[in-house]
Structures are given as C-alpha cells and as structure tokens.
Amino acid sequence: MNYQESREYIDKITREIPSVLGLEHMRELMKRLGNPQDDLKYVHVAGTNGKGSVIAFLYSVLSGAGYHIGRYVSPTLYSYRGRMEVSGSRISREDFAAYITQVSDVIAAMTKDGYPHPTAFEIETAVAFLFFKKENCDLVLLEVGMGGNLDATNIIKNTLLAVLVSISMDHMSFLGNTLAQIAEKKAGIIKDGCRVVTARQKPEAMHVIERISREHGAKCTIADASEAEVLKESCLGQTIRYRGEEYEIPLAGVYQKENAVVALNALKVLDELGFPTAAEQKKEGLRTVNWNGRFTVICKKPLFVVDGAHNPAAADMMAASIEHYFKGKRIIYIMGVFADKDYRSVIQKTAHFADRILTIQTPDNIRALPAGELAKTVSEYNPNVQAMDTIKDAVEEAFSLAGEQDVIIAFGSLSFIGEMTDIVENL
C-alpha cells in the first residue's frame, strides 16, 4: 500500500469494525508481529481530561533534554501522522504505509485462522509500537484510548510510570456508572512495581487508585494543584509558582495549572528512574510546550478560541475559564458534537454564556450529530441558536456577528478544530 491506500484502509476499518475493549485480539496481533512493544519502556497516561496536555509537557521537557522520546496520542488536530512521533518528527508517509501493509498482511492471516478483525485503534497502536521500536526510543509516552485495563495500549509490560490525570464521568456505557467503577478501569494501567503519579482525585476515585497501587506494590505520588500559585495569567498563557520555582506556560485554561503540576511530579519521579532533567530544562520545556485545541486562541481581533471540551467535566473546566477570562464579554459559540457523548450535559453547563450559538456537524465521522438535531437540543437551553451547513459557513457567520471586543468560542469535539483553524487563518 502507498500512504493514500493505507489511510483509506484505516478509514474503512473505522467505519466497519466497532470499538471494543479487551486485549485478546491485540495480544494475538502483537505476537504475530514479534511483540515489538516488549523492547520499550513507557510512561502510560490514563484519565478523563488532561492526558494530552500532561504528555505534551513531558514530551517537550524530555525531548528538549536530549532523550529520544516517542509520543502516541489521539486524536490529533492538524495531521493524522501526528498521532505517533519521535522527538518532534511525525512518522513518515512511507513508514506509515509500510507498517500498515505489514499489519494488514498479519490481520489477513489472523482472520483466516478465525480471529476477529482488529479495530482501527488496535491497528494504529500496533503501527506505533513497530515505529517506536525501529526508532529505538529511550522512552515512550503512551496515551490510553479509552479506560485503561482493557485498552489496546495496556498490552505493554514495561511501565516505568503510570500517570492518572483527572477522572470524571465519561464513556459510561463502556467503563461503568460510578466514579469508583471508572477509576477501577483507568487504574488498570498500574503494573507490579511501577511508580504512580496521580492528580488529586475526588475521594471515591482516590481511594480506588491508592488501593490498586498498594496491591501492585506501586509507590503512589499525589500531585496536588492547590500547592501551586498562579502569579499572572491571560487567555494567552500563565505563570505559576510551584515548590519555590516559577514556570511560564503558554497554555490558557484554569485546568492547566493542575496538568502542569502532574507533569512536574512525573518528571521528578523520572529523575529517580534514570531519566533526569535539570531545573532549567523543566522550565524551558514548559515554556515552549505546544498543545493546540485546549482553550487555544487562534485569532485576536475578535478573540477566537478553540477548545476540545466534549464531556461534562471538560465543559465545567471550559465554563470556569469563560468566567475567569471573559466575564461580561459578548460570546458567540460554534458547537459540534458526537452523538454518543453526553452532549446535553455539555450544553446545559455552557449554553447560558452565549449570546448566539451556531451548530455544525462534525465532518467525516459516523458518530457526528447532525447540526439541526444539535440546534434543537440547544434551543431548550438557549433560543438564540442556528444550524449551519458547513464549518466554513459557521466561521464566516461568527465573524460577521462579532465585534472586535467580542469572543468566539468553538468547542464540543477535537475532530473539527484543525479544519476550523485552517479556515480562520485563511480568511
């Protein structure tokens, strides 16, 4: 396969093979590929909100310190190949196509032997492992896709550090209906004898994480964001003081203080595990971190903010950021969601801030909720809503409605933020 054919293959699998939780098929696939994942060391990151930000902080610091670092995240905003990269370089089109060809040949033999067809995420994860092994990475930063214990990424054995960011209610149909049940699944990434760093969780989640850590003989460090102080901030970034040191962070959002504190505690543990970084390297890595789509300003007049808030906890964070940065401002929303998310709760928590709401359908995804249906639900909470035909139409309408002092916020899913950013930059 060439790159185009390999992408079409993945898209076809995405449409035809539903998501599943379980490691049986992944184990068979990786065994037939020679188990490349067993030759690597990992920082494994799970939780509901903040995984990508924490990985971005770690990636920036560790790569800047000279380590050969693999990063696996999903989704990505601007390039599909950005899901897997090493020290700032995305997997090449040629390598991706070659690995997909290799994996698809193995899958053909698996299905012939009676095994179910792996999902798109399992295939992508297999490709990432092959890529990171070829690159001989010193350490791989691995983001969980969903949950933890039965996620395809949890096939790994050599977890040096398990990181648990903020845990809240999401993916309940897969993970459980209580915070404790969800925490149990997410804490399933903890391996015997590894180290654990967790954000300070709600008590019912915290008890679960501490218990599972004890059961695995895994020393657990609690990263408490209340120990950090915000010295200055704007919608363009912030400066925090933590344990006597000041850190500049070019990421806005009231929740980024917590993510930075989790990352700093993870780096302290990695210092002890053979991946030391100097104080100045930590500061420089946080100062230069790049992680778009999380309360990110993409235009200044008027302010145009994109945010991936797509579940109730993320909506709470976005609402807090709106209150914090834009109190008294006239706000226009562009909103698109997936039908299988708790979008009603997201609407309920955010709709009252907006003067106008423009709804869109997220592109090229069978999970997308039609713009008209989303608008109908929004109207129950805010009558000033209009369904738009395309993302471009929504962006142009938002700019026509907004004065220089107003704020446009696009949110509800990460899936359209890359395309929207391109549209805004080219207007």
Global pTM value: 0.86
Q: What is the pLDDT of residues 347-401, one digit of tens each?
A: 999 999 999 999 999 887 778 899 999 999 999 999 999 999 999 999 999 999 9
39 secondary structure, DSSP code: G
Say if residue 179 is in the same domain as residue 215.
yes
Q: What is the CATH number of the domain that holds 419?
A: 3.90.190.20
Q: Are residues 77 and 102 in the same domain?
A: yes
Report helix, strand or coil for 238: strand
- pLDDT score recorded for residue 295: 83
Last residue of a domain, one of 240, 266, 287: 287
**What integer best gives the mean pLDDT of the chain?**
93
Which residue, of 243, 267, 287, is where some domain finishes? 287
Q: Both 392 and 271 in a single domain? A: no
pLDDT in the model for residue 206: 96
- State yes or no: pLDDT of 412 exceeds 70: yes
Do 361 and 307 belong together in one domain?
yes
pLDDT, tens only, 195-207: 999 999 999 999 9
Helix axes 24-32, 93-112, angle to 10 degrees: 110
Residue 147's pLDDT is what? Answer: 82
What confidence tens digit (pLDDT) does each residue in 169-179 have?
A: 664 545 657 88
> Please, where are the H alpha helices in 113-230?
120-134, 172-175, 179-186, 203-215
Residue span of the structural domain in which 110 resides: 3-287
Q: At what angle do helices 256-272 and 279-287 cross, to 10 degrees?
A: 150
- Residue where one domain finishes, among candidates 287, 314, 345: 287
Residue 90 has pLDDT above 80, yes or no: yes
Which runs of consecutive H residues, i.e. helices, occur in 222-362? 256-272, 279-287, 312-326, 343-350
Same domain for 368 and 219, yes or no, is: no
